[in-house]
Structure 1
C-alpha cells in the first residue's frame, strides 16, 4: 500500500514538474508572440510616418517647382512685353510730336488767313514753315500681325502623365527582401551571413551596418556583392546589433532594412605577442610587419586562442624576399627556434610548401604573394586505438588561393587550444591575422 502511495506521489510530482515546464514554455511563447505583434505594430506606425513625411516632402517640392515655374513664365511674359512695347512707345512719341506740330501750324495758318488785312509777309512765312515741316512724311506704324500677341501654351497631358507616375510611386512590402540568416562568433569578430527572402528581387549589392549595445547610430561596415562578411574589432561579451539591405539591379536606391539581429562573441581577438625586436605590431596587435632588424625568430600569438572548429585566417598585405625557412602556421607551444618547420606545428612556407611536424608534404600550395589569404581549419578525428585508449588526430585543412591541402595531424599530447605564429627572414612581410 505504501509503495503504491509513493508511486502515485512520485507520478504527481512529475506531473507538476511537467506542468511547470509547460507553463514556462507557454509564457515564453506568449512573450515571443507579444514581440511579433509589437514588431508588426511598430513597423506599421513607422512605415505610415515615413509615407506621410515622404509625400509631404514631395508635395512641398512639387509646389515649389510649380511656383518657380510660374514665376519664370510670368517673368518671360514681362520681358517680351517690355521688349516689344518700347518701339511702340517711341513711335507714339513721334506721332504725338507730329500732331502737336500740325496743331501749331494750323493755328498759325488760321491766324494768317483770317486777318482782315491779309499780310503778304505773314503768308510767306507760314508757307515756308509748312514746306520745312514735310507734311507728306508719315512715320511707319506696325500692323497688328507684325507685333507680338502673347499667349500661354500649356500641355494638358501633364496631369495625365503625373497621375500615372504618382499612382505607381512607392510600394509597401510586408517583409524586407533580405534578412540576416546567421551570426557566428569569431575571435574578436562576428561573421554575419544573410540571404534573400524575395525570389523576385534581383540584388546587385548588399549593405551591412552595425552598432554597439543596440543604441546610437548604425555604421556601414560592408558594401558589396557577397552574402557574408566578417566584422572585426568587436569587443568580447558585448551586444552588437546588425542589419542589412540590398540594392536592386540597375537601381540607385536601397531596399528597406532587414529586421535587426543581436550578436556577440565570447572569443578574445587574435593578437601577436609584443616584444620581438624583428617585428613591428599595429595598435590592435593583429598586424605584424617584419622590419629590417637582423634579429631572427618566430613571432607567436599572445595566447593560445585558436580552437577546434574555428577558421584561422592570415592575409598577407605586403611581401619581402623569400626564404625556404619562411613559415605561417599553428603550433602546440612556443619555443626559441627560428622557424615553425618543426615538431608540434603545421605551417606553409612563402613558396607554398606545407610542413607537418617539420616534414615537407608532397602536396604544395601556390606561392604566397601580396593579397594571399591563408586559412587553417581543424576538426577532431577519433580512430580505433590500443590498450592506452583511442588515438586522437586533427584533420587539418589549409587553404590558399582557391586551393586546399587536407591531412591528419597526430599530436603526442592533447591540447584544447593552439598558438599561431610566423617567421620571415627578410623585411617587408606584413601579415594580418583574424
Structure 2
C-alpha cells in the first residue's frame, strides 16, 4: 500500500471521526437522560406509594376508631336501661322473698300468736297485688359488625391500575433552528392512542442549560394552539433546554412532557448601525431621530436571510412619510434612489415598491405600536417570496434576488417624532 493510499485512508478515517463523534456525545447524553429520568421516576414512585400507604393506613385507622366508638356508644345506650331495670327487678325479688319467709314463719306456728306479723303480712300482700308483672323487653340491642367485601374488589382494581410508567409523551419536539437573537422551536404529535382526543392547547417550556438536570427551572414561554414558536428571550451562545406538553379536550391537566432538547443560537439579535443622527437603545434595536429628515437608518451589516422573519414596531410617529424595507446593497436612501433594483420597500401609507415598481395592492397605514413583519421564503435560486404582514393583513410578492445572499434592512424616518424598534 503506497503512501498516497495510506494518506487517503487516514483522511477518510478523520472524516468518519468528525461524523461519529457528535453521535457519541448524543449517545452519552441519551444514556444520562435515561438513567437520570429513571432515578427520578423511581424516587417519585417510592415517595408517592409511601404517602399513599400512610394515607390509606390513616383512613383505615380512623374508620376502625369510628366503628369502635359507635360500638361503645351502642353498648352504653343498650346496657344503661337494662342495668336500671335489673337493679329494680332484684330489689323486687328480695322483697318478695322476705314476704314468703314471713308467710312461712306464720304458717309454721299452730296459731298466729304475733298479731303484728300478721298485720305486716296482710299489708305486704296488698302491695304484692299492686306490683306489675315484669316482662322481658324485646328492644334489647343486638350489636353486630357488617361490611360489604365487594368494595375490596373495587379497591384492588383501583390500586392495581394506579400509576403508569411512560417513556414518551404524546407530543415531541421535532426541530430547533437558530434565528437572529432567538430560537425557533417546532413540535408535533406522536403516533399514539391519545391522538383520538383533540388537543386543546400546547405548553412549551424553556430552561437555561443543556441537560435534563435543569428540569426544576423550566418556565412557560408559550401556551397556545400553534405547533411552533420563536423564542426571543435568549442570550446568544448560551444553551437552553426546551420541552413541550399538551392539554387534551375535556382535561384540566397537562400531558406527559416531551424529551427535553437543548439548543443555542449563535446569531445575534437584529440591530441598527450606530448613527450620530439617532438615539439608540436596547442594544441598538430601538432608534429615534435626533434631527428632522435624518440620513437613512441601516442594519449593522447584512443580517437578514432567506428563512428569517423580521419585525419592525412603530413606537412613536407623526403624519410624515416613513419608509421601511430590505435591500441587497446599501443604497443610502429608501425614497430617492437612482437605482432601485434589489430593494423591497413599504411606506407608512401602505404603498409597496419592489425593485422600484409600485404594486397595486396596498397595506394598512402605519399606526402607533403597529408591527410590520417581513418573512422571506425560497422560491428559486434567483427568486424569493416576501410576505409582509400589517394588522392581520398579508401581502406576498416575488423578489428577484439570490437566495444565498444576506440582505440589509433599513428605515427612513421623517422627523424626531418617530421611534422604531427591530426584532
If the length of structure 2 is used for normalisation, what is the TM-score?
A: 0.69
Match of residue 67 from structure 2: 73
2:132 maps to 137
Q: Secondary structure at the match of 1:245?
A: strand
What is the alpha-carbon distance in structure 2 between the residues aligned to residue 94 and residue 11 of structure 1? Answer: 122
State the SS of the aligned residue for 2:351: strand
Counterpart for residue 362 of structure 1: 360
Residue among 207, 212, 216 paired with 1:211: 207
| In 1: Cα distance, 2:66 partner to 2:313 partner | 61
Shift of 1:273: 11
1:403 to 393, 398, 417: 393
Between the aligned partners of 2:131 and 2:24, the Cα distance in structure 1 is: 107
Answer whether contact 1:341 1:359 (CA < 8 A) is retained. no
Q: CA deviation at 1:157?
A: 1.8
Alpha-carbon separation, structure 2, partners of 1:30 and 1:334: 49
Aligned-partner Cα distance in 2 for 1:20–1:118: 140
Matched, 1:235 2:230: no
| Segment drifting more, 19-28 vs 231-240 | 19-28
**In 1: Cα distance, 2:422 partner to 2:18 partner:** 44
The counterpart of 1:311, out of the listed 303, 309, 312, is: 309
1:86 — aligned with what? 80
Residues 203, 244 of structure 2: 8 Å contact kept: yes
Q: Deviations over 1:114-163 (max 9, x none)?
A: 8974134x6546645665687423566521xx233222222222222223
> Do residues 346 (structure 1) and 360 (structure 2) align?
no
- Native 8 Å contact 1:348 1:354 kept in 2: yes
Q: Is the 8 A contact 1:304 1:420 kept in 2?
A: no
Judging changes above 3 Å, is the alpha-carbon distance between structure 1 residues 92 and 225 closer, same or farther for their aligned structure 2 residues?
farther
In structure 1, C-alpha distance between the alignment counterparts of 2:323 and 2:146, rounded to whole Å: 77
Structure 2 CA distance, aligned partners of 1:211 and 1:126? Answer: 105
Q: CA deviation at 1:234?
A: 1.4
Cα contact 1:189–1:232 (8 A) shared by 2: yes
- The 3 A distance-change label for structure 1 pair 189 and 48 is same
Structure 1 residues 396, 254: closer, same or farther in 2, change over 3 A? Answer: closer
1:26 and 1:67 map into 2 onto residues whose CA distance is 61
Q: Deviations over 1:68-108 (max 9, x none)?
A: 22222222333333333333334334434544555666677
**Separation of aligned partners in 1, 2:119 and 2:292:** 130
- SS of 1:362's partner is coil
Deviation (angstroms), 1:17: 2.2
Q: Is the alpha carbon distance of 1:104 and 1:419 closer, same or farther for their aligned partners in structure 2, counting shifts above 3 Å?
A: farther
Contact preservation (8 Å) 1:211, 1:217: yes
- Relative to structure 1, the CA distance from residue 37 to residue 264 in structure 2 (aligned partners, 3 Å threshold; closer, same or farther) is closer
- Work out whether 1:15 is the aligned partner of 2:9: yes
Q: Which one of 145, 156, 159 corresponds to residue 152 of structure 2?
A: 159
* Contact 1:236–1:268 under 8 Å retained in 2: yes
How many Å separate the matches in 1 of 2:200 and 2:394?
Answer: 30
1:59–1:296 Cα change, 3 Å: farther
- Residue matched to 2:162: 169
Gaps of 5+ in 2: 338-342
Distance 1:297 1:71, change over 3 A: farther
1:226-265 matches, cutoff 5 A: 226-265=226-265
User: How far is the alpha carbon of 1:398 from its aligned partner?
Assistant: 0.6
- Give the alignment partner of residue 377 of structure 1, picking from 351, 364, 375: 375
Name 2:189's counterpart in structure 1. 196
Instruction: Say if 1:327 and 1:348, in contact at 8 Å, map to a contact too.
Output: yes
- After superposition, the Cα gap between the structure-2 partners of 1:382 and 1:127, relative to the gap in structure 1 and judged at 3 Å, is closer
Gaps of 5+ in 1: 1-6, 384-391
Alpha-carbon contact 2:298-2:408 (below 8 Å) kept: no
Is residue 325–residue 425 contact of structure 1 (8 Å, CA) maintained in 2? no
